[in-house]
């Protein structure tokens, strides 16, 4: 049986559901997902070949999506984007609508889509085993680039080849590393949850 065949057809629990359900819990989880992305944004490395910095945001986005599920994951990233309109939570402490319209704006919008998609897959068990979890997180990051690169091309008036190189190619290795990190972290978290649950019985 392939890993893909093990995915559930209907939504199931995600890591965040180990906590008792309530509106207050969901609000706190969404805020926590936004805070995690804010922390990831503070890891920012600039390169001379791209206006887009290397950050820890994409790792935070896919982990938030997997841990929170589709709706809360997407909501956490939407909250992050909205907070950045007024607060310095974007990479390098940036904020404001100019960031959205600028070279990195498409990536920020892509965070919402990616977290929702990864969360949808996690609800179907895609974060339980390392192999399929890694693939899930790669898909999430590709969704971010899928919006970010065209946005970069238009906002910076670049050719397609330059936009793809500056906005995607140079990030491939780092993205794979992040996918591997997340791909082993979430299954490990599930093993811990199962161990705690079995101990409590």
Query: Over the stretch 125-158, which tens digit does the pLDDT of each residue have?
Result: 999 999 999 999 999 999 999 999 999 999 999 9
Mean pLDDT of 68-82: 98
Confidence band for 49, pLDDT divided at 50, 70 and 90: confident
Boundaries of every domain in the chain: 12-200
* Backbone φ, ψ for residue 50 (5° rounding): -150, 140
Predicted pLDDT of residue 4: 44
The average confidence (pLDDT) of the chain is 92
Radius of gyration of the chain (CA): 17
DSSP element (H, E) containing 45: strand 44-47
User: What is the distance between the terminal CA atoms of the chain, rounded to a whole angstrom?
Assistant: 31
Mean pLDDT of 47-56: 90
CB atoms inside a 10 Å sphere around CB 158: 18
The percent of residues above 90 in pLDDT, for the chain, comes to 83
pLDDT digits (tens, 9 = 90+) for 77-125: 999 999 999 999 999 999 999 999 999 999 999 999 999 999 999 999 9
* Global pTM value: 0.92
CATH class of 12-200: mainly alpha
pLDDT(1) > 50:
no
Beta pairing, strands 44-47 & 50-55: antiparallel
């Amino acid at each position: 049986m392939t890993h893909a065949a093990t995915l559930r057809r209907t939504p199931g629990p995600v890591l965040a559901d180990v906590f008792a359900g309530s509106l207050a819990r969901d609000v706190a989880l969404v805020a926590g997902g936004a805070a995690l992305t804010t922390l990831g944004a503070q890891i920012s490395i600039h390169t001379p070949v791209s206006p887009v910095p290397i950050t820890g945001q994409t790792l935070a986005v896919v982990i938030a999506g997997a841990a929170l599920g589709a709706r809360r994951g997407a909501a956490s990233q939407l909250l992050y984007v909205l907070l950045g309109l007024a607060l310095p939570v974007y990479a390098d402490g940036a904020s404001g609508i100019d960031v959205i319209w600028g070279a990195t704006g498409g990536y920020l919008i892509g965070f919402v889509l990616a977290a929702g998609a990864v969360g949808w897959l996690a609800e179907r068990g895609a974060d339980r085993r390392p192999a399929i979890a890694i693939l899930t997180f790669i898909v999430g990051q590709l969704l971010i680039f899928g919006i970010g690169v065209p946005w970069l091309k238009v906002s910076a008036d670049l050719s397609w080849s330059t936009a793809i190189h500056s906005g995607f190619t140079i990030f491939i290795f780092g993205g794979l590393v992040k996918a591997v990190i997340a791909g082993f972290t979430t299954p490990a978290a599930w093993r811990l949850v199962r161990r705690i649950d079995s101990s409590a019985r």
